[in-house]
Amino acid sequence: MSTATKTPERGATARLEADERAGTSVAKAPSGRAVPGPGKTDPGKTDPGRTDPGRTDPAETDPAPRTPGPAGRLKGRMRVPRPQSFGDFLKISFGLFVILPTFMSVLYLAFVASPLYEAESRFTVRSATESSAASRVFGEALSTLAGGNRGGSQSAQDVFIALNYIRSRNIIADLGGVPMLVRAFDPATADYFSRLDVNGPSEKVWDYWKSRIRTEYNTTSGIATLRVQSSDPAAALWLSEEILRATEGMINRISEEARRDALLRAEAELQLHRDRLTAAMLAVNAFRDRMKIIDPVIEAKSVGTVVAELMLQKVSAETQLATSSRDLAEDAPSRRMLEGQIAELDKQIDELRGQIAGEQGGNVLSEQIRTYEALQIESVFASQLYTAAQAAYSEAKARSDRKSLYVIRVIEPEQPERASYPDIPSGAFLVFATAGVLWSIAALMVAAVRDHSN
């Protein structure tokens, strides 16, 4: 654009600004006549610039709109400000609530956060005598039917006990309490946000312990992993060793208590069955003293043998009587002797049979045999239980003299050489993703409210 073209436009702009400062404005009256603004003369008075005072200017009475010139377009652009768009709001809010927190987190992780060294070790818990596969499966099936041991084998339960102890409050006290925590997590070497408050409540101390001690368990191999974090690599190694040592002591205490309880139970069972066997033997002896016989069964057998012999004698006498009855008279002495002999044999046989099974109450051998056999069964059963109790007591005694559970270190802890935390990319991405998700939800809510209001 040439200089001649720009000069009228600048002149029109200057005149427009002068009129605005003077307060000049022209409005249309309801009758269509021009109403003078401030600084204008009355139309009734003679205007030196006009030749005919009774006529009005066609520009003042012409209702047709005039096309604005360059000065009018510039005036419209200058007086009407452009409103801020919703896209600018989203950009500003994204920078404040997403980019700025991410940038601050990067600054904290890079220049403020204290480095953390991680010492890793792996271990498992095994018993001294591993049962066979068949017995283990059978035992687990019985335990499942009984409603217990649903979580797996006994070895897995022992490992879970150790892991729970590592993340409990008891291990803090067993390791030495606050002095141990100060040595492991020295507040002087940590930044303000990751520092341990040793004077805080026990719950806070416990939460800090769980944030620095991490455990994992592999159900396939049965191996547990222990990770200890500290701002000092030597302290991380020392604390790992102390935790493993305390875990071994806890497992040994549990094993010792279990062995002691098993021994006490075996001893109690042995005493119970000993008393039962003694009572059964005393009952048998009392029966023998009362009945004046050693064994009713043997007595019954001897009586039966005598009865059989008498029966043979009776048969022989009856045979002789039948043979000689044709040659002897009825009152012959030999015949009367045979008949008397047969009668005596019958009497003896009846008496002996009455001793075996008759109506003489408790003196009958059959009743004595029934009572004796019941006492004998109780005595034999008590003797077998006593023998089994003796074997169980001997096994419990042998187990109590040796350890039954061992903490096996699969991987020994080593002193770390490089800090594992903080991880700047991962931490920054986590902050960015979290802030981005929250910002997206808020932006969607604002957009929904804005659309609803429009």
The number of angstroms, rounded, from the C-alpha of 96 to the middle of its chain's C-alpha atoms is 41
Give the separation between CA 432 and CA 340, rounded to whole angstroms.
Answer: 127
Give the separation between CA 87 and CA 63, rounded to whole angstroms.
Answer: 42
CATH assignment, 116-267+403-442? 3.30.1890
Buried b (16+ CB within 10 A) or exposed e, 387-414: eebeebbeebeebbeeebbbbeeeeebe
- Specify the pLDDT at position 353: 66
∠ CA 220-407-158 to the nearest 5 degrees? Answer: 55
Q: How far is CA 254 from CA 34, 158, 404, 406, in A?
A: 109, 10, 10, 11
For residue 371, with 0-12 CB atoms within 10 Å meaning exposed, 13-18 middle and 19 or more buried, which class applies? middle
Question: Amino acid letter at 30?
Answer: P
The number of helices, as runs of H, and strands, as runs of E, in the chain is 15, 6
- Specify the pLDDT at position 191: 84
Residue ranges for the chain with pLDDT beneath 70: 1-84, 129-153, 300, 303, 325-330, 352-366, 403
- Specify the pLDDT at position 257: 85
Return the closest-CA partner of residue 246 out of 123, 417, 127, 152.
Answer: 123
Give the separation between CA 36 and CA 143, rounded to whole angstroms.
Answer: 109
225-266 tens-digit pLDDT = 999 999 999 999 999 999 999 999 999 888 888 888 888 999
**Which residues face 123 on adjacent strands?**
224, 409
- Specify the pLDDT at position 313: 78
- Omega cis (within 30) before 48: no
* pTM for the full predicted model: 0.56
